[in-house]
Chains A and B, each alone.
Chain A
Amino acid sequence: MTTQTMKQQLVVVGNGMAGVACVEQILKQPHNFEITIFGDETHANYNRILLSLVLAGEKSPEEIVINDIEWYQTHDIRARLGVKIVGIDRERRVVIDEDGGETEYDKLILATGSSAFIPPIPGVDKKNVHVFRTLDDTRALLEQARPGLKTAVIGGGLLGLEAARGLQVRGCDVTVVHLMDTLMERQLDSTGGEYLKRKIESLGIRVMLPQQTAALFGNGRVDGLRFASGEEMEAELVVIAAGIRPNAELARRAGLEVRRGIVVDDYMATSDPHIFAVGECTEHRGQTFGLVAPLFDQGRVLASAITGNTGQAFTGASPAAKLKIMGVDIFSAGSIDESEPGVEAVTYEDPALGTYKKLLLKDNRLHGMILVGDIEDEHLYMEWMRSGTDLTPHRRQILFPPRDADPGREVADMPDSETICGCNGVRKGDIIQAIHARGITTLAGLKESTRASTSCGSCTGLCEKLLRAVTPDFQEETRTTLCACVPFSYEQLRDIIRGQKLKSVEEVLNVYGNRKGCEVCKPALSYMLDMVWCGEHEEDRSARFINDRVHANIQKDGTFSVVPRMRGGVTTPDELRRIADVADKYKVPMVKVTGSQRIDLLGIKKADLPKVWAELGMPSGQAYTKGVRMVKTCVGTEFCRFGVQDSTRAGIELERRLENLFTPHKFKMGVVGCPRNCAEATVKDLGMVGQEGSWQVVVGGAAGKSVRKADLLITVETTDQAMETCDLFFQYYRENANYLERSYDFVERLGIEKIRKETVYATDADKKKLLDRLARSKALAKDAWLERETPVHATQFVQIQPMEVQRT
């Protein structure tokens, strides 16, 4: 047999990110390997750096899997999961597993990673003391986590803070205990640490520093912490996040050169030419690694070297770290040691905004940085640092580098090899290739095909810039921040509410906001909760505008207007008589026919509302809220000489289907029996225009502050089809529009073509999902005026009378 046909055995010990990423690179090269991967965890390879998001409930364990079992099969890789390698016989070139089984290798890659460092504190072996390193650790923490659980996290570094936030989001009462006097002291200076501490505390996590833990006490289970100062703290759960140590024991026993980690050269070779190492278990030029980006670089270098295509060497990595806590932006890179000779610092801070920036320069070149609260320019700075750009011409604006002039400049400045998505190891070149190969035009498309920006999301802005620069017809996904109280986009908030299973406005504000909220975000969050949970949220009336507390429209004098529902604008003599009687009895100052073919009773006192509603005996017309207003109709075929469709009946039916539901903004509809359009359906949020033998369904019309002719969504033959089409658009608007975004802005923002694709042209399965969610909401929607019989609070409508008046 010749060497060409005989496969070489490549054994990889370690099924973590570094090892598997390296194998992925090897697969991209011409090679002659039969590959076996040993992993002592039983899971397929997952993205360890996203464990904090699993803990926080932002991702499920399945979502952080990078390579599923099929991937191993597809690439003919033998996956030996749950098998621990305990020895290496370098003479015979075999690895030995726990059961004494031996596996031969021609080349061996050690990717054994690192373990949590457990400080020698008495009591760390007690029950309920955990580390946070693996998926199993995360599951164990999730089993324990419950609201109110007194939790101490020992260690205020990156991982400790992420663990603390994850547990706090689960309701635990969390304290971070840190040995040093600055949080994340390896990445931040004392000012940056102070800004971070304030932000962490504002999220509701206690921070104790500097605080040395002397012992964990408790009988079997931990009951608390005793500090070196003699103070004690109660704790039912303790998480140790005091750093990591390379797993180098296997290599040490095999006689390889090991210092803190397994010593490797610039091509990732160990002291044995058949054995290589990659990832957190390595030590390169005296440096060990704990962050992901350099590991991908190491993997690429090793993949080239081991397949005989030796190219670029690994020359080390400057540290770069980003905290993955939503709403807390921290980035640090390079050397932050100001005392180094020749280093000068340029700083900026704004305590009110919580922004702190510090750039460290050496010979007019960027040497290190600390960014807190504003990390917009992170990539530009990294590029300056990587390329050693002479910053003399930029000095005047270095803290606020100008943008706009050439928005493509930043990405043009990056080499193809630059990593865009650190979480998933996606480089600029990979993205450009994917964009062209698959005709990607949206961020969503990019996420799907490259996984870039799917993890922590911090490279989203950069991915968008790349798309804009490269894609001929890039479609922007606009994101607007809801408000300063809870500074996330609508899209993020919907994800947060869904992902974290938040059911009330208070929960959202307490965990993700400023704990106060205001008249802008509270009603918006109320709406989102109602929509996301299809009415199964915890309704909080204090978060809603007065109109939605008493189901009537407040007027300039503090009285209210009452508009009963009159479906399709059709009424009866009986109804009119009752309206007249109510108007007389309550001395209603004005009775007005509205533009919506209904009758408005103006000037009603709050305390009279329940009686007025009862005496009217008609349901609420929702004229006071962001919800379904009315369906305006013409007389259609019933009476009109020209009518070709029964618009009145269709309008009444449409109103019945959608009434009592809430929408991002008010929602008006119209149904007309012929194109003469007497009830103005083409300037409504949703309209049906009757034609001979068909209906046009039109959307996004307006005749208010803006006037806009509605776009044709689709033409259908039957009234039933038209109704279903209306349902689809209605629910799609409910789910995807920003709060207070009228349908006409929504349709313009998304474009009618996208809306068609995702409603009338969607797959039957997707249509059914929309309709099912609408049906769930509708099943719980009630006529608000029934609260006259079952008020949500004893004094919802009642005017409180003083108990006793003491007269002078």
Chain B
Amino acid sequence: MNAVRGWTPITKADNIPLREGRAVLVGDAEIAIFHLEGRYLTIENKCPHKGGPLCDGIVSGTKVVCPLHGQRFDLETGMPVLASQPGCVAIFPTRVDDGVVFVDLGGACKAGEEAAA
């Protein structure tokens, strides 16, 4: 498997407009990076409901709303907002260094799981 691990420089922070998300395919993982006032959060770019591209969703506070059927996820925890929604999405530790967004792709965690060591 072509897995990518550790802090990986992804793209210039400027490439992600405020309160929007952008998808990036890194190895075989498609991630969605969001820009919220001064911070960047990354989740897997696939809605567990019907696979919708979460990067294209409208951001509401720290939540994103899937553009296909309105499922909502918390960008900080990956948790669905409603208990009735199917599943959660993986989240990835994200930081910005010198104007570049770094994502720790090995650090994916799903809600309720500990981050990989």
Known contacts A795-B16, A800-B15; decide if A546 and B56 are in contact (CB<8 Å).
Answer: yes
Q: Is A518 within 8 A of B58, CB to CB? A: yes
Q: Is B9 within 8 A of A803, CB to CB? A: yes
Q: Is B60 within 8 A of A804, CB to CB? A: no
A554 in contact (CB, < 8 A): yes
When each residue 1-36 of chain B gets 1 if its CB lies under 8 Å from chain A and 0 otherwise, what string results?
011111011110011111110111111000000000
Q: Is B57 within 8 A of A546, CB to CB? A: yes
Q: Is A558 within 8 A of B56, CB to CB? A: yes
Q: Is B24 within 8 A of A801, CB to CB? A: yes
Residue on B nearest A558 in the bound complex, by CB: B53
Contact among B8, B14, B17 with A802 in the assembled complex (CB-CB below 8 Å): B8
Contact among A542, A546, A800, A808 with B19 in the assembled complex (CB-CB below 8 Å): A542
Cβ–Cβ < 8 Å partners of B2 in chain A: 807
Q: Is A795 within 8 A of B58, CB to CB? A: no
Cβ–Cβ < 8 Å partners of A802 in chain B: 8-11, 24-26
B107 in contact (CB, < 8 A): no
Cβ–Cβ < 8 Å partners of A518 in chain B: 58, 60, 63, 65
CA–CA, A540 and B52, complex, Å = 23
Q: Is B59 within 8 A of A803, CB to CB? A: no
A91 in contact (CB, < 8 A): no
Cβ–Cβ < 8 Å partners of B48 in chain A: none
CA–CA, A808 and B105, complex, Å = 12
Contact among A519, A546, A799, A803 with B10 in the assembled complex (CB-CB below 8 Å): A803
When each residue 757-769 of chain A gets 1 if its CB lies under 8 Å from chain B and 0 otherwise, what string results?
0000000000000
Cβ–Cβ < 8 Å partners of A706 in chain B: none
Residue on B nearest A560 in the bound complex, by CB: B56
Known contacts A518-B65, A541-B20, A558-B53; decide if A805 and B58 are in contact (CB<8 Å).
Answer: no
A72 in contact (CB, < 8 A): no
Considering only CB atoms and an 8 Å cut-off, how many residues of chain A contact the other chain? 34
Q: Is B4 within 8 A of A795, CB to CB? A: no
Nearest chain A CB to B46's CB is how many angstroms away? Answer: 9
B70 in contact (CB, < 8 A): yes
Q: Is B27 within 8 A of A517, CB to CB? A: no
Cβ–Cβ < 8 Å partners of A522 in chain B: 58, 60
Cβ–Cβ < 8 Å partners of B25 in chain A: 799, 802
Cβ–Cβ < 8 Å partners of B16 in chain A: 795
Contact among B5, B10, B68 with A808 in the assembled complex (CB-CB below 8 Å): B5
When each residue 484-527 of chain A gets 1 if its CB lies under 8 Å from chain B and 0 otherwise, what string results?
01000000000000000000000000000011111100110000
B100 in contact (CB, < 8 A): yes
Contact among A519, A543, A801, A803 with B65 in the assembled complex (CB-CB below 8 Å): A519
Nearest chain A CB to B11's CB is how many angstroms away? Answer: 5
Query: Which A residues from 757 to 794 make CB contacts under 8 A with B?
Result: 793-794
A545 in contact (CB, < 8 A): yes
B39 in contact (CB, < 8 A): no
Q: Which of B5, B15, B17, B70 has the most CB of A within 10 A?
A: B17
A556 in contact (CB, < 8 A): yes
CA–CA, A800 and B35, complex, Å = 15
Known contacts A546-B57, A803-B9, A805-B4; decide if A795 and B18 are in contact (CB<8 Å).
Answer: no
Cβ–Cβ < 8 Å partners of A478 in chain B: none
Residue on B nearest A540 in the bound complex, by CB: B19
CA–CA, A309 and B61, complex, Å = 64
A392 in contact (CB, < 8 A): no
Cβ–Cβ < 8 Å partners of A523 in chain B: 58
Known contacts A558-B56, A805-B8; decide if A795 and B15 are in contact (CB<8 Å).
Answer: yes
A806 in contact (CB, < 8 A): yes
Nearest chain B CB to A239's CB is how many angstroms away? Answer: 29
B87 in contact (CB, < 8 A): no
Q: Is B59 within 8 A of A805, CB to CB? A: no
Q: Is A794 within 8 A of B20, CB to CB? A: no
CA–CA, A554 and B68, complex, Å = 8
Interface residues of A, dominant DSSP: loop
Nearest chain B CB to A187's CB is how many angstroms away? Answer: 33
Contact among B20, B26, B51 with A542 in the assembled complex (CB-CB below 8 Å): B20
Q: Is A793 within 8 A of B61, CB to CB? A: no
Cβ–Cβ < 8 Å partners of A803 in chain B: 9-11, 100
Cβ–Cβ < 8 Å partners of B59 in chain A: 542
CA–CA, A113 and B32, complex, Å = 63
Cβ–Cβ < 8 Å partners of B4 in chain A: 805-808
Cβ–Cβ < 8 Å partners of B20 in chain A: 541-542, 549
Q: Is A558 within 8 A of B52, CB to CB? A: yes
Residue on B nearest A554 in the bound complex, by CB: B67
Q: Is B100 within 8 A of A554, CB to CB? A: no
Query: Which B residues from 53 to 86 make CB contacts under 8 A with A?
Result: 53, 56-61, 63, 65, 67-68, 70
Q: Is B61 within 8 A of A543, CB to CB? A: no
Cβ–Cβ < 8 Å partners of B65 in chain A: 518-519
Cβ–Cβ < 8 Å partners of B18 in chain A: 542
When each residue 536-551 of chain A gets 1 if its CB lies under 8 Å from chain B and 0 otherwise, what string results?
0000111111100100
Contact among A544, A546, A794 with B15 in the assembled complex (CB-CB below 8 Å): A794
CA–CA, A794 and B16, complex, Å = 9
CA–CA, A795 and B25, complex, Å = 15
Q: Which of A485, A549, A800 has the most CB of B within 10 A?
A: A800
Known contacts A800-B23, A805-B4; decide if A543 and B67 are in contact (CB<8 Å).
Answer: no
CA–CA, A804 and B100, complex, Å = 12
Cβ–Cβ < 8 Å partners of A793 in chain B: 17
Cβ–Cβ < 8 Å partners of B9 in chain A: 802-804
CA–CA, A516 and B63, complex, Å = 9
Residue on A nearest B45 in the bound complex, by CB: A558
CA–CA, A804 and B61, complex, Å = 31
Residue on A nearest B59 in the bound complex, by CB: A542
Cβ–Cβ < 8 Å partners of B23 in chain A: 799-800
Cβ–Cβ < 8 Å partners of A800 in chain B: 10-11, 15, 22-24
CA–CA, A557 and B56, complex, Å = 12
Cβ–Cβ < 8 Å partners of B61 in chain A: 514-516
Q: Is A519 within 8 A of B22, CB to CB? A: no
CA–CA, A801 and B22, complex, Å = 11
CA–CA, A806 and B6, complex, Å = 8
Contact among B11, B22, B26, B50 with A805 in the assembled complex (CB-CB below 8 Å): B26
Cβ–Cβ < 8 Å partners of B53 in chain A: 554, 558
Q: Is A545 within 8 A of B67, CB to CB? A: yes
CA–CA, A733 and B9, complex, Å = 50
CA–CA, A807 and B10, complex, Å = 14
Nearest chain A CB to B113's CB is how many angstroms away? Answer: 21
Known contacts A558-B52, A805-B8; decide if A516 and B24 are in contact (CB<8 Å).
Answer: no
CA–CA, A543 and B10, complex, Å = 25
Q: Is B14 within 8 A of A794, CB to CB? A: yes
Q: Is A543 within 8 A of B6, CB to CB? A: no
CA–CA, A804 and B10, complex, Å = 7
CA–CA, A485 and B16, complex, Å = 25
CA–CA, A571 and B114, complex, Å = 59
Residue on B nearest A523 in the bound complex, by CB: B58
5 A-B pairs closest in CB distance: A516-B61, A542-B19, A546-B56, A518-B60, A558-B53
A-B contact pairs, 5 of them (CB 8 A): A519-B70, A543-B58, A554-B56, A805-B8, A807-B27
Supplied contacts A518-B60, A546-B56, A558-B56, 6 more A-B pairs, CB within 8 Å: A518-B58, A556-B50, A800-B15, A801-B11, A802-B8, A804-B9
Binding site for A on B (CB under 8 A): 2-6, 8-11, 14-20, 22-27, 50-53, 56-61, 63, 65, 67-68, 70, 100
